[in-house]
Amino acid sequence: MTLLLLDDRTTSDANDAHLRSIAHDVFLMTKLPRSFGVTCRQIEVLKLRASAYREGYHDYKIRYGGIVVYPRLIAAEHGSPSYCERVPSGVAALDGMFGGGIARGSTTLLTGPTGVGKSTIAMQYVYSAAKRGNRAIVYSFDEGLRTATSRAESLGMKVEAEIDRGTLLMMQVDPAELTPGEFVWQIRRDVDELDTRVVVIDSLNGFMNSTPGERDLILHLHELLA
């Protein structure tokens, strides 16, 4: 027999040790208010008798028909495979500077003032991968998809053809409707389940500035990149 008990924690001790000693499993569901955008909901497993579980807080959302939980990512669970493959940009001079291209499995940060071409260089790697038949994706925080696509096309990158072919996906990210846990889960799904080979986040600065009230963003990014 399974009995579910719901406690709103307004009329009882939030740390009722007697109740927790009787129950086999205890879950804590909380809401974190944000000054703008959707409320961030989190779930924590306080107790799961006779079973191992992932500690810490996990973001979740209420969907039609139930809830979706985005488990906290633990990079150490995935190991560190070694790759000898290089990811070329398709620009001979740029690939020469990297000894043939960027090492697969690595993380590359493009940094510099506004307007020097960071997004364009990143798009070149994405477009080159898509042309080779490797699925690539761009998560855009700072720039509209129409503007990014138009600029790439004007520079000779036929990104719309690759989008139609299904090898390139460009996604506009609305941080007001997204939590860090959901964003990390989305990238992991794209890589693990859809075999995405090149991922671009444009930009990390936009991601950090768009979610100023969120906690532990640096740790989220560290686990994701690792």
Give the chain's domain count: 2
**How many Å apart are CA 173 and CA 26, to the nearest integer?**
34
Q: Of 51, 72, 93, which marks where a domain is finished? A: 72
Per-residue pLDDT tens digits for 129-145:
999 999 999 998 878 88
Question: With 90 as the cut, is the pLDDT of residue 44 above it?
Answer: yes
Residue at 5 is within a domain = no
Question: With 80 as the cut, is the pLDDT of residue 91 above it?
Answer: yes
What pLDDT does residue 78 have? Answer: 75
Length in residues, the chain: 226
Q: What is the mean pLDDT of residues 78-107?
A: 84
Question: With 70 as the cut, is the pLDDT of residue 34 above it?
Answer: yes
Residue at 51 is within a domain = yes
* 115 & 58 share domain: no
What pLDDT does residue 20 have? Answer: 72
Per-residue pLDDT tens digits for 197-217:
999 998 887 777 666 666 677
Instruction: Pull the structure tokens for residue 208.
Output: 């950090």
* 125 & 154 share domain: yes
Written as one string, the DSSP assignment of 11-45 is SS-TT-HHHHHH-SEEEEEEEE--SSSSPEEEEEE
Buried b (16+ CB within 10 A) or exposed e, 27-41: eeeeeeeeeeeeebb
Q: Which residue has the tokens 């579910």?
A: 4
196 close to 190: Cβ distance less than 8 angstroms: yes
What pLDDT does residue 179 have? Answer: 81
* 141 & 185 share domain: yes
User: Which amino acid is located at 37 in the chain?
Assistant: G
130 close to 166: Cβ distance less than 8 angstroms: no
Residue at 117 is within a domain = yes
The predicted model scores a pTM of: 0.80
Question: With 80 as the cut, is the pLDDT of residue 118 above it?
Answer: yes
Predicted confidence band at 80 (pLDDT cuts at 50, 70, 90)? low
Highest mean pLDDT among 51-55, 77-81, 104-108, 135-139: 135-139
Alpha helices in 67-117 (DSSP H): 92-97
Instruction: Pull the structure tokens for residue 180.
Output: 């860090």
Determine the structural domain holding residue 60 and report its residue range: 17-72
Question: With 80 as the cut, is the pLDDT of residue 71 above it?
Answer: yes
